């Protein structure tokens, strides 16, 4: 496997080729481990536009959790592949750069600056913004190549590099993404599902700011939603419906109404399902 620094040799983008990436990449053989410093992980799944991101932010406020997204390493993988398409794909190197991306967004959040989404991050580095379908394809390719749990391992390794102890990981879409949690964090994680009625989700999606090229009609949204749930997808692809079947009924949170009601429901769930487990630590 190519050394992390030489893998990016020749890149002209200073935000990619920097000392923190090189330092983290050289540690790559040590970052995939049983993650001893992580205290607890809340893994979120849910239907498209059900409100997972909003739920993640509320959970973060409840218990001092950092919010990571399963799409974070996919965004980073898209940028790296665009900037240097011949560089070897490496989960270890992706973990190092994902840690940089997350740290950058944490700094922006602390400064009151708008966080980088997939489009903003790509544009800041001179890369064409990815469409949702492109991110879905990128995620499928990495899972097929490196295993269903690759993005979970990448995010957990990034958390270790950043010394994060409590995590909400937003957006797991394949059952295999839970395997590293089962293997390394027994008793220290819980899966949560966020759901909403189809008409509510459709309205939210079509009215919110979308990525370039995202669906603009109801039928386009429904097609994207069906793929997200698993229609026409391989076993290691998008499988949100299968993910939801793995969530215990008491950990399913409905989000059909107001943000205030969602906050109330999540606070009640958190006190019942998470606080007692943290108190035992």
Residue of higher predicted confidence among 119 and 160: 160
pLDDT value for 109: 75
**What domains sit in the chain, N to C, each tagged with a CATH number?**
30-276 (3.40.50.300)
Residue 186, token pair as written in the block: 């027994």
Residue 255, token pair as written in the block: 């989000």
Per-residue pLDDT reduced to its tens digit, 261-271: 999 999 999 99
pLDDT averaged over every residue in the chain: 84
19 band by pLDDT with thresholds 50, 70 and 90: very low
130 band by pLDDT with thresholds 50, 70 and 90: confident
Judge residue 63's burial from the number of C-beta atoms within 10 Å of its C-beta, 0-12 exposed, 13-18 middle, 19 or more buried. middle
180 contacts 153 by C-beta, under 8 angstroms: yes
Only one residue has tokens 């935000």, namely 15
User: In this structure, are strands 166-170 and 252-254 parallel, antiparallel, or unpaired?
Assistant: unpaired
Per-residue pLDDT reduced to its tens digit, 32-79: 667 888 999 999 999 999 999 999 999 998 888 999 999 899 989 998
Per-residue pLDDT reduced to its tens digit, 180-220: 999 999 999 999 999 999 999 999 988 875 666 677 789 99
154 contacts 94 by C-beta, under 8 angstroms: yes
- Distance between CA 223 and CA 171 in Å, rounded? 19
Please spell the DSSP secondary structure of 99-153, one letter per residue. HHHHHHHHHHHHTTPPPP-HHHHHHHTT-PPPPHHHHHHHHHHHHHHH-TTHHHH
- Distance between CA 202 and CA 209 in Å, rounded? 13
3 band by pLDDT with thresholds 50, 70 and 90: very low
128 band by pLDDT with thresholds 50, 70 and 90: confident
Q: What is the DSSP letter of 270?
A: H
pLDDT value for 207: 85
């Amino acid at each position: 496997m190519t050394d992390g620094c030489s893998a990016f040799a020749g890149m002209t983008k200073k935000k990619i080729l920097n000392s923190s990436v090189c330092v983290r990449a050289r540690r790559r053989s040590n970052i995939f481990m049983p993650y001893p410093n992580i205290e607890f992980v809340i893994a979120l799944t849910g239907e498209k536009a059900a409100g997972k991101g909003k739920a993640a932010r509320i959970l973060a406020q409840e218990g001092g959790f950092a919010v990571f997204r399963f799409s974070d390493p996919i965004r980073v993988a898209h940028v790296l592949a665009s900037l240097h398409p011949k560089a070897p794909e490496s989960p270890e190197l992706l973990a190092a750069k994902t840690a940089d991306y997350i740290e950058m967004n944490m700094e922006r959040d602390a400064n009151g600056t708008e966080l980088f989404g997939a489009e903003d991050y790509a544009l800041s580095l001179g890369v064409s913004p990815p469409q949702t379908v492109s991110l879905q394809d990128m995620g499928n390719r990495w899972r097929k190549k490196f295993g269903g749990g690759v993005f979970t391992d990448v995010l957990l390794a990034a958390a270790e590099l950043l010394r994060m102890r409590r995590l909400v990981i937003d957006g797991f879409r394949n059952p295999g993404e839970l395997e590293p949690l089962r293997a390394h964090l027994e008793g220290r994680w819980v899966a949560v599902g966020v759901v909403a009625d189809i008409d509510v989700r459709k309205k939210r999606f079509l009215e919110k700011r979308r990525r370039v090229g995202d669906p603009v009609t109801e039928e386009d949204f429904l097609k994207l939603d069906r793929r997200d749930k698993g229609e026409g997808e391989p076993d290691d692809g998008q499988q949100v419906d299968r993910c939801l079947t793995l969530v215990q009924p008491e950990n399913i949170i409905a989000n059909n109404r107001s943000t205030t009601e969602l906050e109330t429901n999540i606070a009640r769930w958190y006190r019942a399902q998470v606080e007692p487990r943290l108190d035992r630590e």
